[in-house]
Amino acid sequence: MTLRGKDLIGIEHMSEMEIQYILDTARPMKEIISRPIKKVPTLKGRTVANVFYEPSTRTRTSFELAAKYLSAEGVNVSGSASSVSKGESLKDTARTLEALGADVIILRHPMPGAAAMMAQTVPFPVVNAGDGAHEHPTQSLLDLFTVQEVKGTIKGLQIVVVGDIMHSRVARSGILAFKKMGARVSVCGPTTLVPPGIEELGARVYNNLDEALDGADIIYVLRIQKERQEEGLFPGLREYARLYGINKERLKLASSEAVVMHPGPVNRGVEITCDAADCKQSVIQAQVNNGVAVRMAVLYLLARGGEASSVPVD
Ligand code: CP
């Protein structure tokens, strides 16, 4: 199998084999980043353009580090500091980056479909780093990688995604990804934050959190996406935390081996208490760390290609 030259726009378009291929390639990448000197010449001479029209800490930094550890050149374009603020279109920005010699574009944009549109404009790979409330595929790949690491397998696990499902690209990609890998997926949140038709993605819907948590293996907590919401979708943050917040008491309702996940950024005291976010069952820090290895795998496979077993290790 090769992913060389392909775009990574969404989990929706990926097969279970392609997903596992990326996860398998991330394993040797994780070994590379555990070394004192985290650098291999794999993408020497390639240029990765990080184009971010929305704020990001984890995704942007981990793509930047992934490019550096693989010896690629990295350039950063942000909406507010670029010619976008002078009215340049996304297509013209893409063409400009092509003329400047980019080999891969990583794009975060508030408009669903932005990455797909950019992929039609340039002849080299585009990676969707989040397009509105649509998809965030590399987040789900790093989540799958983390679950495989902790649980050994994803097949048969019971995953509960809790919170603002409606406005979350992480939820959409996550449901698709966990289902493709053989897990059972439920979502839980206030009716106003669960989109109608979510069952069509294969998720069971709960509005009562205590019922949803019963026997769960993975509790995947989401932030309230205030930046994408209208006012008045729930009574208030205190009420939300009471009904849908994850705390140590609620964790007891899940499987005794349950794992707590969150894509970040965390709003402590709203969707999750500090004691739950930092408890032994939490893998939030591991998710961030694995994000670098998974994004190295994505850059390597799209920009250069090759088998997981042939990842250059020095
Ligand atoms: N999970 C995630 O996408 O975080 P950032 O917005 O910080 O990139």
Instruction: Return the sign of the alpha-carbon dihedral for residues 269, 270, 272, 278.
Output: negative
Distance separating alpha carbons of residues 141 and 158, to the nearest angstrom: 17
- CATH code, domain carrying 263: 3.40.50.1370
Position 10 in a domain = no
Position 2 in a domain = no
How many domains does the chain fold into?
2
Instruction: Give the ligand 1 atom nearest the CA of 108.
Output: 8
Can you give the pLDDT at residue 235? 74
Mean confidence (pLDDT) of the chain: 94
Can you give the pLDDT at residue 86? 78
Residue 105 shares a structural domain with residue 154: no
Can you give the pLDDT at residue 225? 79
Position 96 in a domain = yes
In SS3 terms, 78-122 reads as EHHHCHHHHCCCHHHHHHHHHHCCCCEEEEEECCCCHHHHHHHHC
Position 314 in a domain = no
Can you give the pLDDT at residue 305? 81
* Å from CA of 61 to ligand 1 middle: 9
Tokens representing 193 are 């934050």
Position 172 in a domain = yes
> What range defines the domain where residue 187 resides?
137-286
* Å from CA of 105 to ligand 1 middle: 17
Residue 292 shares a structural domain with residue 242: no
CA-nearest residue, atom 6 of ligand 1: 56
Query: Which residue carries 């996940």 as its tokens?
Result: 261
Can you give the pLDDT at residue 314? 67
Position 26 in a domain = yes
Nearest of 285, 303, 307 to residue 70 by alpha carbon: 303
Can you give the pLDDT at residue 56? 96
* Å from CA of 55 to ligand 1 middle: 8
Residue 267 shares a structural domain with residue 147: yes
Q: Is the CB of 264 under 6 A from ligand 1?
A: yes
Residue 142 shares a structural domain with residue 249: yes
Position 9 in a domain = no
Q: Is the CB of 56 under 6 A from ligand 1?
A: yes
CA-nearest residue, atom 5 of ligand 1: 56
Residue 273 shares a structural domain with residue 172: yes
CA-nearest residue, atom 1 of ligand 1: 263
The three-state secondary structure class of 68 is helix
Given a cut of 70, the residues of the chain with pLDDT beneath it are 306-314
Residue 113 shares a structural domain with residue 147: no
CA-nearest residue, atom 4 of ligand 1: 58
Q: Is the CB of 59 under 6 A from ligand 1?
A: yes
Can you give the pLDDT at residue 312? 65
